[in-house]
Amino acid sequence: MQDDRSMPQETGFFKNLSAYAHQIKCRSPLYDMALGRAASVDDAPLVIPPDPWSGDAGRGYDIVQGLYLFDGQSFRSIDVLWEPEGFHDGWLSSMHGFDMLRDLRAFGGERARQHARYLISDWLDHYSRWHALSWRPDITARRIVHWLSAYSAFCASAGEEFRHAMLESLSRQIKHLSKHAGEGDLLYTAKALFYGGMAMGQEKYCRQALHILAADIQNDILSDGGHKSRAPEQHLVFLQNLLDIRAAIHLAGLSVPDFLTHTAGKMAAVLRSLRHNDGGLGLFHGGGAAGGSLCDMVLAQAGASGGRPLKSLGVTGYDRMSQGRTTIIMDTGKPSDRQNYAGLLAFEMSAGRDRLIVNCGAWAGHPAWQQALASTAAHSTVTVEESNALPAKGAEIPLKKIAVTKIREDLNGTGLIDATHDGYLERFGVTHRRVMTLKNNGNLLHGQDILSGMDGASFAVRFHLHPSVRASVIGDGTRVLLRTGTGQGWEFTCNGGVFGLEESVYSPGRHADTPRKTLQIAVYAQIFGQKTIVDWNLSRI
């Protein structure tokens, strides 16, 4: 057997060489001719895929006015520009992927139809042949899905010349995507190929799509039904697309594979467990809050509107406590090699439909913001020496060495989560243990943050407040009075540290306009005698 060391390794040089060779092949006239030998589109689309999800009419109006806002960046122009200078990949992907079509459909009317056709025609004028960005597999897949999903709204009543040009391009794009199906977002690739196969009457693409889908589920969905990213919003989006594929399979008159049905059921159960009382999602691992109505609709489509949320997601790494009208969602998961967000043992709290304690969220508008919102300090948890609980990428301490342990108890109307992580152990000799107890019918949350290890190590316990919460320090600085948007009163008290109110930010999603200003309760302390306990209460008044 040949020694592996004698074989060329997948270094940056070989990757760049491979990418360069790939671009030469795709730019060649022969490749363009090969894509041109696609099936006839005279009878297409044979089947139009369903799209039950509503867009944002306000954003649709903005698009008609020439304002394109994606991933925190906006561009305004009467004449559309597909590659404006200085715009990041998220904006470009959304633009070339035609994410705006659902919003234009929500806005409705002749102006929306004309603008959608204008965008498609202009794209065809500039990108009808392979292009390194616009024909990238992940972007191509999104564009195929959005063009076909919007066909009835924008294209069915268009002129013959426009429809033929669009469908001919779709046929070429589907063929291109099929050749590069192992690259990019596999879920969207599977969805695009199945939609394309139905529309063009090409069964081979449908078969390929189901093979890709099965492999992607095996790779991305954990054994308890959670998404491997551990981001609630990404979990929601995956399930939403899975349900779209299931609906398309039904529409095509085919039997839904057992693996798809089984996965959708497990994912729906997890989704219920990651929701707050307002119906939206917790802000963890870069995911946004999403809307309660969208979550309701996804669960209804999954046939899982009823059922109680799970108390513990052992593999996905979340625990949930609910009593009365109070809900706690806590991150108790072990970090993975893919994890960027450093909110170990962070929690969020909602009371009724009011969010009280939150994490700061995520925003894609600027890399510096992305880095700041991924930090431990941007989560409602403990920060040691103002550093992240996860080492920086490329550090000598691998993430797999960080241990997280948890004990969960529910007894006599009291819920308890007792979790510990050692993300600070190798750098500072410190471990963090958090014990939270929810009792008195949800009217009292008692917490202890126990820091053990090196004497003199400083730490901060942060409780980020939702922007709708008004906060004031009372009782000569011994208490913080909190008033929610609906007028509920809560009181924060603490022993074991010095605390006060500080500025914070809140971004409910990566695509938000800008993060909003809010406040946080910050408790500062040091370790003495190798252990310090910060004992705190959030009690309803």
Q: What is the pLDDT of residues 263-311, one digit of tens each?
A: 999 999 999 999 999 999 999 999 999 889 999 999 999 998 778 899 9
Asked whether residue 144 is assigned to any structural domain, the reply reads: yes
pLDDT, position 9: 43
Q: Is 204 buried (19+), middle (13-18) or exposed (0-12) by CB count in 10 A? A: exposed
Res 59 pLDDT > 80: yes
Tens digits of residue pLDDT in 173-194 = 999 999 998 888 899 999 999 9
**Boundary residue ending a domain (183, 216, 251):** 183
Asked whether residue 375 is assigned to any structural domain, the reply reads: yes
Region 457-481: what's the mean pLDDT?
96
| Domain carrying residue 358 | 323-540
pLDDT, position 365: 80
**Boundary residue ending a domain (126, 152, 183):** 183
Peptide bond into 367 cis (omega under 30): no
pTM for the model stands at 0.91
Asked whether residue 205 is assigned to any structural domain, the reply reads: no
Q: Specify which residues 503 forms β-bridges with.
A: 519
Helix (H, G, I), strand (E, B) or coil at 163: helix
Tens digits of residue pLDDT in 396-430 = 555 558 999 999 999 888 999 999 999 999 999 99
Asked whether residue 285 is assigned to any structural domain, the reply reads: no
Q: What is the DSSP letter of 155?
A: I
Asked whether residue 312 is assigned to any structural domain, the reply reads: no
**What's the CATH number where 486 sits?**
2.70.98.70
Asked whether residue 1 is assigned to any structural domain, the reply reads: no
Total count of domains within the chain: 2
pLDDT, position 6: 35
The token duo for 134 is 């616009």
Asked whether residue 170 is assigned to any structural domain, the reply reads: yes
Region 345-353: what's the mean pLDDT?
97
pLDDT, position 412: 87
Helix (H, G, I), strand (E, B) or coil at 263: helix
Nearest-5° angle of CA 381, CA 283, CA 300?
Answer: 140
End-to-end CA distance of the chain: 74
Asked whether residue 79 is assigned to any structural domain, the reply reads: yes
* Closest to 245 in 3D by CA, of 292, 198, 204, 178: 198
Which contacts of 154-157 are long-range, i.e. CB under 8 A and separated by 24 or more positions? 154/101, 154/104, 154/105, 154/112, 154/113, 154/116, 154/117, 154/120, 155/116, 155/117, 155/120, 157/113
Q: Residues 314, 305: contact at Cβ < 8 Å?
A: no
Helix (H) or strand (E) holding 241: helix 232-251
Helix (H, G, I), strand (E, B) or coil at 229: coil
Rounded-to-integer distance, Cα 79 and Cα 282, Å = 39
**Boundary residue ending a domain (162, 183, 204):** 183
Region 138-152: what's the mean pLDDT?
96
Query: Domain check: are 381 and 530 in the same one?
Result: yes
Tell me the average pLDDT of the chain.
91
Rounded-to-integer distance, Cα 385 and Cα 394, Å = 20
Q: Which residue has the higher pLDDT, 10 or 329?
A: 329
Q: What is the tally of helices (H) and strands (E) in the chain?
A: 15, 19
Q: Kindly report which listed range (28-37, 250-259, 294-303) carries the lowest average pLDDT score.
A: 28-37
